[in-house]
Structure 1
Amino acid sequence: MLLTKYTHSCIRLEQDGRVLVLDPGIFSESATALAGADTVLITHEHPDHYDGDALAHALSTLPDLSVHAPTGVARDLRVRAPEAQGRIMDAAPGERFTAAGFAVECFGGQHALIHPSIPVVANVGYLIDDDLYHPGDALIVPDGVSVGTLLVPVHAPWSKVSEVVDFVVSVRAPHAFQIHDGLLNEQGLAFTESHIARIGGLHGVKFRHLHAGQSVDI
């Protein structure tokens, strides 16, 4: 499986000519990430993970493209792209389905708390082919599974470094790459990732930084 990292939390997966894209948001190179995509998975409604205009355009130009997303996102997208309603599916924790030939299992349920005054929205984490886990904006450890490759939200208004490190240690995936890194400058990112790599390494986790546009076989 070929994984390509785009800016912030967008990931593109390719295998045997099949393309699955996760969280193409407004900080990401959505047009490039979505080119030729078969299926898109959205974790939650915040615009850094869900670019409604870009995704509606993709649905209008890619007749076989399908989308799985939490109910609120799916509802909004059906309004934006009414001609594609049959290709927009709700996703919820506990569900399993096949998307673009990839096996998908859903975890979580809600976004991490940003502040008590800010409403908490739905958030679905996705485990792909029993290996790759994209948690969206929540540090939910998936139960009953062994994750092979973890995508780590390294920085957010709702988290602190100790929580991120504990998440990495708890999941204990052999391999980990960063996501949700679009809000840090190079110095801040290097500082945070050094803690993740050092402490995660003590627990058997090999953490690696991927630049935007960089690909890796997993």
Structure 2
Amino acid sequence: MRLTKLEHAALSIEKSGSRLFIDPGKFTTPITEAAGTVAIVITHEHDDHWTPEQLTRILARNPKTPIFTTPSAAEKIIAADLPDIGEVIDVSAGESVLVGGFDLAFFGGEHAVIHSSIPRIENVGVLVEHGALYYGGDAYSAPEGVDIDVLAVCANAPWMRIAESMDYIERVRPKRVLPVHEMLLAKVGKTLATTRLRESAERAGALLVDLQPFETLELD
């Protein structure tokens, strides 16, 4: 099984000729390599995690691909009236599904607080293949009692401090750490964030894997 890091929050996972996309949003280069897509996961409704244009590109090559997301994001996706759209499926914490050979389980429930004046929205994290990958979306929820190979960790966002991502790594203690959600950072900021995340990964006995866009990683 192979993971490809796209820009920002977007990830692609390939297994036995099938492909899963997670969070193809507006800070990600237009997706054109999408053959074999069997499922799309969108952790929440913000447009840096999905856009109608990105979904249209994927669905044009894979009509009727199911999309798994929160109820509020599902409403927005359905309202976009995309060509080739199939089932848009509401998911919440505690649910799991087997789709196209991928075992997915969902955790969390709410987006991290941005500011007291901004209402919190729904957010789900996704566990792929019983712990091969976990990505919490825009929150620090995580499954308990699960050995996680790769933990995708936010490097930057308006809702976070780097200390929170560092604490998250040390709490979850995965085998490997993958920084994501970084497209608002200049090069010097990305370097600093990666350095801090690496320090926490080392304290947790994990390896930080600093994938650049379109680089790949083999998953356990």
- TM bin, normalised by shorter chain, reads over 0.9
**1:103-122 maps to which residues of 2 (within 5 A)?**
103-122=103-122
2:26: which partner in 1?
26
User: C-alpha distance in 2, partners of 1:82/1:56?
Assistant: 6
| Bigger mean CA offset, 128-137 vs 29-38 | 29-38
Aligned residues: 218
Partner of 1:152: 153
| 1:135 corresponds to 2:133 | no
Q: Distance in 1 between matches of 2:17 and 2:61?
A: 19
The DSSP-based 3-state class of the residue aligned with 1:136 is coil
Query: Is the Cα contact below 8 Å between 2:157 and 2:181 reproduced in 1?
Result: yes
The residue that corresponds to 1:15 in the other structure is 15
Change (3 A) 1:27 1:120: same
Equivalence for 2:199: 198
Cα separation, partners in 2 of 1:81 and 1:165, compared to 1, 3 Å: same
Q: What is aligned with 1:207?
A: 208
Identity %: 32
Check whether the contact 2:166–2:197 (CA below 8 A) recurs between aligned residues.
yes
The 5-angstrom pairing of residues 150-189 of structure 1 reads 150-189=151-190
The 3 A distance-change label for structure 1 pair 93 and 137 is: same
In structure 2, list runs of 5 or more residues that go unmatched: none
RMSD across aligned C-alpha pairs, in angstroms? 1.7
> Which segments of structure 1 move beyond 4 Å, counting only runs of 4 or more?
82-86
Shift in Å at residue 61 of structure 1?
A: 4.7
Distance in 1 separating the partners of 2:83 and 2:32? 23
| Higher percent of residues as helix | 1
- What residue ranges of structure 1 are gaps of 5+ in the alignment? none
* 1:182–1:35 distance in 2 versus 1, CA, 3 Å: farther
> What is the CA distance between 1:19 and its match in structure 2?
0.2
- The separation in 2 between residues aligned to 1:183 and 1:136, in whole angstroms, is 16
